[in-house]
Structures are given as structure tokens and as C-alpha cells.
Amino acid sequence: MTALVTGGAGFIGSNLVDALLAQGERVAVVDDLSTGRRENLDGALAAGAVLHELDVTDAAALRTLMEAERPQVVFHLAAQIDVRRSVEDPVADARINVEGTINVLAAAHAAGVRRVVYSATGGAVYGEAEQVPTPEDAPERPLAPYGQSKLAGEGYCGLFARLHGLSTIALRYANVYGPRQDPLGEGGVIAIFCGCVAEGRTPTIFGDGEQTRDFVYVGDVVAANLAAAASTLTGSYNVGTGVETSVLELVETLDALELGPPLAPCHADERAGEVRRSCLDATRLRDALGWSAATSLADGLRQTVAAIVPAGPC
């Protein structure tokens, strides 16, 4: 089988590429390397993966490539993921996340792709949810253009399924973390904090630190993608642990692991548009595919620090 991974040089994408190669699949990667890193693919390229430096907003080039590669499955992870950037420039955010997704879906349809697995977002779509952990049927109330654009991408997945019969599924991720993570997006707090642990730097907590997130390990997210690709499920499914962890609890967990000097965070003003509580109910995906997050936060943090995550400013 040939699989095509957009955003395959990024954090989640490169981990997915490695897993596909381990299964014996032929893998083509599409990435413009604006945020993805070629070094994330060093092992994959040596193992036979092919990298195409291409922007998903280039519809004609993407369609030509898709028709040449003829993948059976497309995993669409290429996206603008920085919430703050989306607030500053919502047009650019929409160009990548909405127009780019339309281009991927149109190219996949034209090339006769069997299945498209779309990487969506959980917390950024639900906003300040009344029910936590939050199920898929909760109201969708994004607080930033990023969440709105990713939700629009889900809508186009459904449209292409209805209009063209293209098999699609959207996976709404909680806050993904793990090796190769970039400190962008809401999940980047772990990349930043782990970098601070590894380098003995002081992290900054925005607000009081009581805001919560559902931290899910990248290996578990990869497993969800593989299971979704092999299925015929349609619609949107949460991918998370169902466990709330506050930023202060995250600091405590890292300190308890004794992976470096104790963290002594400083505090700064909370950031506009940030959700107070975010945690996903992934029961629907568990019941449909038998998937559930298998990696504890402590184990995931150990693996993340051991991989020396590139650190952003604390």
C-alpha cells in the first residue's frame, strides 16, 4: 500500500511516517518545511520514504503529485497550528487550514484515493465546554480562528464524502506531546517544559496554572490514525485520554520524575483566547475501534525528555 502524509516532516506526521514504514508500507511525504524539519525524516528517508517539498495551498502541484503517487490512503496533517498566529492573521490561517484541506480532498478524489484521515482538533473546537470530559456531540464553539478553520476542514471532509463518495474520517486530537514536538500550539507546553528540564531553564506559566489539558502521547495518536485508516468509520472522533491535568500538576509530575533540576516556574498574564478546561471523552472511538490511550503521562514525559525535545522560550 502507498500512503501519503501531508505535514509528514512535522511532529505527529514524522512519527506516523515511521510507523507506516515499520508496517511495510510505501510512504510519500508532502511538506513545505516551513515548520516541519527535514531531520525528522532522516531515518524515514533512509528507509525508503520519499519527500516532496510542496505547499498544500498549491492546488495544481498537489493534484499532479497525487495522481503520480496514486496513494490508497492520505493522512492530512499539514496545518497552521499556532493559535496566537491565527488570531493575528486569520486569513493566512484559513488559507492553509481551509483552502489547503480542500485542495487535499480534491486531489485525493481526482486520484482515486480510497481513504482520507484528517487531523482535527478537540479543545480548540469545543471552546469552553460545559461538559468535561467533552464528547463529540457537545456544542462546537471555537475561541480562536485556528479552531474555526480546523472545524471548517471537518465540514469539507463530510462534504466530499456526500458529494463525491470519498471515504473520510476526522480525528479530534487532545493536546498531543512527545518526541519531535515543536513548542507551537496549545500542546507545546510539554515541549517547552521538557526543554526547560533538560537544559535547567525556568519555565513560564501563563495565568494561575490551574488551566487543564488532556495530554495524549504521540504514539497513541499514531495508533489511532492507523486504526482509523484501516476502518470504514466516518464522521468526527475524539482522540484523548479523558484525564484532566493542570499546568501546575504537569510541573509536579515532571519534578517527581527527577529528570533534571526541580522546575521553579514564574508566572505571566494569561493569554487571550485560551480555553480554561479541556479534556476529551474518547469513548466513541474506543467502542468503534477498540482504541484507547495506552501511555501514562509519566511514561510519556520520560520518553519526551529522553529524546531531548527542541526547546522554545520558557
7: left (phi over 0), alpha (psi -120 to 50) or beta: left
Contact 152, 120 (CB under 8 A): no
C-alpha cell at 25: 508500507
Write the single-letter amino acid at 191: A
* Alpha helix stretches (DSSP H) within 128-277: 145-164, 188-199, 218-230, 247-257
Catalytic choice (118, 126, 146, 177)? 146
Alpha-carbon distance of 57 to 85, in angstroms, equals 18
Cα dist from 202 to 177, 178, 210, 265, 304, whole Å = 20, 20, 18, 6, 18
C-alpha closest to that of 180 among 4, 41, 23, 32 = 41
C-alpha cell at 277: 478546561
Active site residue 217: no
Active-site amino acid positions: 146
